[in-house]
Amino acid sequence: MSFLYSLLGFVVMLGVLVFVHEWGHYIVGRLFNVKVLRFSIGFGPIIWRRQRGETEWAISALPLGGYVRFLDEREGPVPVEEQSRAFNRQPPWKRMLIVFAGPFINLLFAWLIFALVYVIGFDVVRPVVKQLNDASSQYWIVEQVSQQPVYSWGDVQVKLLEAQQANAPEVDVLAKGWPQSREALWSWSLQGFSPDVDMAVWLKTQGFELSAPPLAPVVGQVQPGTPAQAASLRAGDVILQVNETPVRAWSDLVKVVQTHPGEILTLLVQRDGQALVIPVQVGKRDVGGVQKGFLGVASDLKKGLPPAFRARVHHDPVEALVLGLERTWTFIRLTGHMVLQMATGQASLQNLSGPVSIAQFSGEALQSGWVNFLMLMGLLSLSLGLLNLLPIPLLDGGHLLFDAYELLTGRPISENAQLVGQKIGMALILLLTFIALTNDLVRLLHD
């Protein structure tokens, strides 16, 4: 079932993003009266086609991209009466706008997706820490970083990365305590922080540890195809005991399950006012070289989480458009910085993900709800747009580079130079694809 979700999520995600990207090329080409011969989702052999007007709309066998084929004298003879509509006959500035439209529409689409998510609204679990060596039950909810509100660990990491890019030596962190409600202001040093760092390890250098909120042991979701589903656990079940050991919080359940991979545990469950004894075969997976157990259940945040630890993020359309634009610009800057760091060896190439990871993330996002799926779609749309703007021949950025040369010099770049550039571009793309697929395989084996 998880495979089917991943497949469905991947097809929907990539299909939408590729269509949006190619539609950008298509619509600007049509605006300049360039003849569009084919609009294809996918590469390779065509498995479906339909002629509408002068354009053939097609779906091809390899769903890893797409293309818009314009009338072009470099690809075959063109009737004299249509030569003015050939792509190669357009002035460089028009060709550049047609090429740029694909990545640009991806960035615009991401902005609108983020704005839509803010209008729909979503629930988040607040970022929580505890002070090291503090045996009390006091939790600290991180509310602001650098005087900017944060609602999740993702928000915290973004603010830390922004501060690091600004060469700030430290950040101010405002937190609120629970159950003793009082505020605290800390300064966290950014020394040792990087995009690759393990957040839990880095926090310990600041005198804190990541902490799960005090969740009640109430099942909220059972993942299909997991040990929990095989044991007939249901949403709403309250876990009272594991092997006769009382379970007072969700973290108690997690600790026991993770330390018993592959073993059979006996759960005492309360369901609809009745106590049930349910044996469950714990699954196992490799996490950082260590075997850990898992059930495949998620907690019920609405029933099990105190209100102080959750937040509802929702904005009106105007605010959503502004916040969506801010988020888009933030991720553009962070992505650009990350690419630069990877190119200079300051960040690991393990950050690259390929189609296997995208399929896995898409399936997980689809199972967890449309808001998460849309947010992932926005992030991938941004990545697709920025990737295509890299000045690598065969990508849109490479075409922009060649056209910019012609615009500035008044003459096209030589065919030999284009051929050499395309070979270099192909080598770079194949290398990056190999690295991304290798990373995918390593993650898959670890999971």
- The predicted pLDDT at position 368 comes to 67
Q: Kindly indicate the confidence band of residue 444, based on its pLDDT and cuts at 50, 70 and 90.
A: low
- The predicted pLDDT at position 354 comes to 66
CATH 2.30.42.10 is the classification of domain 218-302: yes
Q: What is the pLDDT of residues 412-442, one digit of tens each?
A: 888 888 888 888 888 888 887 787 777 767 6
The two structure tokens encoding residue 110:
């991401």
Q: What is the pLDDT of residues 8-30, one digit of tens each?
A: 888 888 899 999 999 999 999 99
Q: What is the pLDDT of residues 155-214, one digit of tens each?
A: 898 899 889 888 889 999 999 998 888 999 999 998 888 777 778 889 999 999 888 788
User: What is the dihedral angle through the alpha carbons of 13, 16, 19, 21, rounded to the nearest 10 degrees?
Assistant: -70
Q: Which residues contact 217 (CB under 8 A, 6 or more apart)?
A: 238, 239, 240, 247, 248, 249, 250, 252, 253, 299, 304
Residue 252 half-sphere exposure toward CB, CA atoms < 13 A: 18
73 is catalytic: no
Report the distance separating Cα 122 and Cα 312, nearest Å.
6
- Topology of domain 125-211 in CATH is Pdz3 Domain (2.30.42)
What is the per-residue burial (b if ≥16 Cβ within 10 Å, else e) of 168-180? eeebebbbbebee
Residue 59 pLDDT exceeds 70: yes
Residue 5 pLDDT exceeds 80: no
**Mean pLDDT for all residues in the chain:** 87
Averaged over 246-273, what is the pLDDT? 91
Which of the following is catalytic: 22, 75, 143, 209? 22
CATH 2.30.42.10 domain residues, the chain: 125-211, 218-302
Identify the bridge partners of residue 52 per DSSP, sorted by sequence position: 55
User: Could you identify the residue written with the tokens 């409600």?
Assistant: 181
